[in-house]
Structure 1
C-alpha cells in the first residue's frame, strides 16, 4: 500500500495530487472492569492496525490505552493531559483541507453534569475536547465518539467542516455500546465498501457499524439500546440516516482513513487512477466550499455545490463502471 502512494504520484503527475496525510488519534478509555479494559484495547488496536495497513504512517497514529507497556503501539496512557499533549503536537501538522484529523473515542461515557468520556484521572468533557480542537479550525476533522451515553458530544462539537459521530443519540443510552467493535471492523475488510470503489469512507463505516449493531440486536432478539448519529453540516442536530448527496453525510462521504492511497490493483490502470485523483480533487473542493459557506450568498453557495456534486456523481459512476470491469 505504501508503494501505491508513490505510484500514484508518478502516474498522476499531470492530474490532481493525491490527498494529504491523515492523522489518527485513538483513545481507549477507562475500562473499570478487566473485560471492558480488554475490549476497549482490542477495538482500538484493531483500528490502529487497519489504518496502518491502509497506508497511514505509523508516526501519524496515536493510540492511547491503559497499560501502555503491554503493546509497543500504545503511545501513552489515556489521560486528559495526554490527549491534550497529542493534539498540541499535531497543531502544526494538520493544516488545510488536504490533511485530516480523525479522533476516535472508545469507552464508558456519562452525561451527568456535562457529556464526558471516562478516563484514568479527570474525565474528558465534550467542552474540553472542543477547546482542544479550536486550533484545527481550517482542517478537516472527524470526531467519532463510540462510547456509551456519547450523544451529548454531538451538539457541543458540531461545526461547519467537521464530522461528528456518536454511538448513541443521547446521554440516556447508557448501556455499553457495540458500535466501536463494528466501526473498527469496517476498515479491516471489504464489507463496508458500499460503492465498490476500493475505499471505505467515514460515511460507509458509519452505515456498516450502524447496520451491524442493528443486526446483532435482532439476532439476539433484544431491544436496540444504541442509535448512532452523524452530523457534518454544522447544525448540531445530526441524523441516524445520513446521505452522501445532501445534508448530513456529504462531508463524511468524502473523508477516507487511507488518505488517498490507491489500492495496488488500481495503480496499474492509468485511467482509473486518474478518475480517483479527480475524485480526490472534487472532494477537496467541496470541503473548501463548505468551509466558507457562511461568507457566501445562499443562492451562490447552493449553485456551486450542486455543480460540484453533479460532477462528483459522474466521476463516481465512471469509477464504479471501470472498477466493475476490472475486478
Structure 2
C-alpha cells in the first residue's frame, strides 16, 4: 500500500491534567487516595505549559468534577493533550460502572460524555480504581487511550496500581527508550510489572490485572499485540517529560525543537505499526527521511 498517510498529531501545545481522588470510605483509604492525587499534582505541575486540576477530600464531588471538566472543555484546543486520572473505589453491577465520589457517584457513561466534550484529539483516561475494567467499554473512543487497574468489573478489591503508576512517572528507569519522556505505555508496563511484584512479595493471589484499550473499537488487552494497532496511541502519548527534556520545555529557545523531536518520534512509531500494510519501498523511504530529520533536530537540541 503506497503513500500511507500517517496519523501523527500536530505539535502539542499543552496538556490538561485532571486528577480526582474519590471517596475513601475509611481513614486509611482516604489518606492514601489523597496522598496519591497530591503526588500526581506535584508531578504534573512540574511540566511546562501544563494545566493541572486536582480534586481531593470533600471537594471530590460529582458537581465539582462536572464544573472542572466543563472548564477544560471550554479552554482546551484540538492540538492539546488531555489526561484524566481516577483514584479510589469503583463499583460494577454487571452492567454499569460507577466511580465513588462524595455524594452521588458518576458512571462510566457520564465520564465518557464529559471527556467527549473536551476538544483535545488525543486523550488518556487512567482509571486506577477497583472494578475499573468494567468502565473500559463505555470510555473507549478513537483517539482516546483507556487504562484500567482491573481486567473486568468483577475484580472488586482495592487496588495498588495507582501507587505504581505515580512511581512510574517519577522513576527514570520507566523511560525504557531513553527519550527523556515517559509515555503512557511505558508507565503502564512499569506499573503493571510492579503491581504483579507486590502480590508476589506478599505471597498473595493477585486480585487486579491491569488492561488498556487505545484503538477505540476493541477489547481491552494486557500487552501490545504483535499484529494490530493495540498500543500505538499509548506508546506515542507522552505523560511527563524528565531530565533534559523537561528542562528543554522550560527553555523557549529549545521548546519548539523538542516538540518537533517528539512529533518525529510519533511518526516513526506510527510507521512501525503500519509497516505490514505498507509497500516495503515506501516504508523504507518514509522511515529513512524521518530518522534523518530526527537526527538533525537532536543535533540542534544538543548544541
> Structure 1 length normalisation: TM-score?
0.75
CA contact (8 A) 1:201 1:255 kept: yes
Quick check: 1:189 aligned with 2:182? no
Larger displacement relative to structure 2 (158-167 or 235-244): 235-244
Q: Does 1:38 align with 2:31?
A: yes
Q: Is the 8 A contact 2:175 2:181 kept in 1?
A: yes
Question: 2:213, 2:220 within 8 Å by CA — same for their partners in 1?
Answer: yes
Which segment is superposed worse, 255-264 or 129-138? 255-264
Q: 1:50 to 1:243 in 2, by over 3 A?
A: farther
Aligned pairs for 1:23-34 (under 5 A) are 23-34=16-27
Unaligned runs of 5+ in 1: 1-15, 68-76, 290-298
Among 59, 63, 71, the alignment partner of 2:54 is 63
**What RMSD, in angstroms, separates the aligned Cα atoms of the two structures?**
3.7
Distance of 1:125 and 1:312 partners within structure 2 = 46
Deviates more, 1:131-140 or 1:158-167: 131-140
Residue 199 of structure 1: how far off its partner (Å): 0.7
TM-score normalised by the chain length of structure 2: 0.80
Within the candidate set 152, 159, 171, 1:177 is matched to 159
Find the aligned partners of 2:219 and 2:200 in 1 and give their Cα distance: 27
Q: Structure 1 residues 265 and 136 mapped into 2: Cα distance closer, same or farther (>3 Å)? A: closer
Alignment counterpart, residue 81 of structure 2, candidates 83, 100, 103: 100
**SS of equivalent residue, structure 1 residue 252:** helix
- Cα deviation per residue 1:229-254 (whole Å; 9 max; x = unaligned)? 11111123021102698522111111
Matched, 1:238 2:229: no
Secondary structure, aligned partner of 2:74: coil
Contact 1:46 1:184 in 2 (8 A): yes
- 8 A Cα contact 2:175 2:186, kept in partner: yes
Q: What is the rounded CA distance, in whole Å, between the counterparts of 1:309 and 1:151 in structure 2?
A: 38
Partner in structure 1 of residue 92 of structure 2: 111
Q: How far 1:50 moved relative to its partner?
A: 1.0
Alignment of 1:20 with 2:13, yes or no, is yes
Deviations 1:44-92, CA, capped at 9 Å, x for gaps: 11111111223354xx11110104xxxxxxxxx1111111111111113
> How far does residue 221 in structure 1 lie from its aligned partner after superposition?
1.3
Written as runs of structure 1 = structure 2, the 5 A alignment for 1:1-327 is 19-57=12-50, 60-67=51-58, 77-96=59-78, 98-112=79-93, 113-136=95-118, 139-242=121-224, 246-258=228-240, 262-264=245-247, 274=257, 277-281=260-264, 283=266, 302-303=277-278, 310=287, 314=291
Write the distance in 1 (CA, Å) between the matches of 2:196 and 2:24: 24
Per mean C-alpha deviation after superposition, the further-off stretch among 162-171 and 310-319 is: 310-319
Q: Secondary structure at the match of 1:191?
A: helix
* C-alpha displacement of 1:189: 2.3
Aligned length: 283
Q: Which runs of 5+ in 2 are unaligned?
A: 1-8
Q: Secondary structure at the match of 1:151?
A: helix
Residues 131 and 153 in structure 2, CA contact (< 8 A), matched pair in contact too:
yes
